[in-house]
Amino acid sequence: MSDYFLPFLMLVRPRQAADRLPSVVAWWRPFAVIAILAMGLCLLSHPLAVSIAVSHLPPSATSDDIAQVREWLIDDLVSRTLLLPLRTAVECACSALLLLAFSRAFTGRTAGSFRGFFVLSLAASIFHLLGRGVSTLWASVINDSLPSSLGTVLSAADLFPTGGDYSIILLLTSINLFTLLYLGSVTLGLAVLCRCSTWKAFLVAVATWTVSTAFSITVLFLLRNAYQLRF
């Protein structure tokens, strides 16, 4: 099977995809697939993203402010879409570095190379894209209400309603069905790359996800306070 299909194989047969990780010849093939999917999803979800951004403006925003934000988001669409491959590469590289560091800490020097972890991060990111796609479809077609972000469908926030604590809302939102699928696929991949037990691989996957999620929540919390956005 071609390396181009590795992300899709991770989606339907994660164990088989994990076994293929050491034999991937060219990392840029799964990267190209993920980058194209991310760009396409960005274009398709843009109208919904604009509506969400406008709904989060502070109450003091005037009609001129809203029109200016809409115009800025539309003008910024092309450059933001073209930068998505770079953003994807950076995010997967950071994830791979974390996976490598925690793998060395939990499993020792038997952990694989950075290249293997990078390919694993690329292939497993298909679950994040799937989550965004399902959330976009849900908000656009099934549900009339807009979520606070693209990726809140089937999350812990639906099961455990909370108050106005923004950081808690973000944390519960990040715990969703697609996150669990992502952690499961990464666990299988780590078990192969590190030649370790499943429970050790699971600890590495959870530790990496916890650190990256905590960083993302911190950044979003600071942006919310800086721009006085409503969530």
- How far apart CA 230 and CA 191 sit, in angstroms, is 42
Give the mean pLDDT of 197-205: 94
pLDDT in tens, 11-23: 999 999 999 999 8
Eight-class DSSP state of 148: S
Better-predicted residue by pLDDT, 88 or 153: 88
* Count of domains observed in the chain: 1
Least confidently predicted of 14-18, 92-96, 170-174, 226-230: 226-230
**Alpha helix segments (H runs only) across 56-143:** 63-75, 77-82, 84-107, 114-124, 126-137
Q: Domain residues for 126?
A: 3-227
pTM for this entry: 0.84
**C-alpha to C-alpha distances, 131 to 82, 157, 178, 207, nearest whole angstrom:** 21, 15, 6, 21
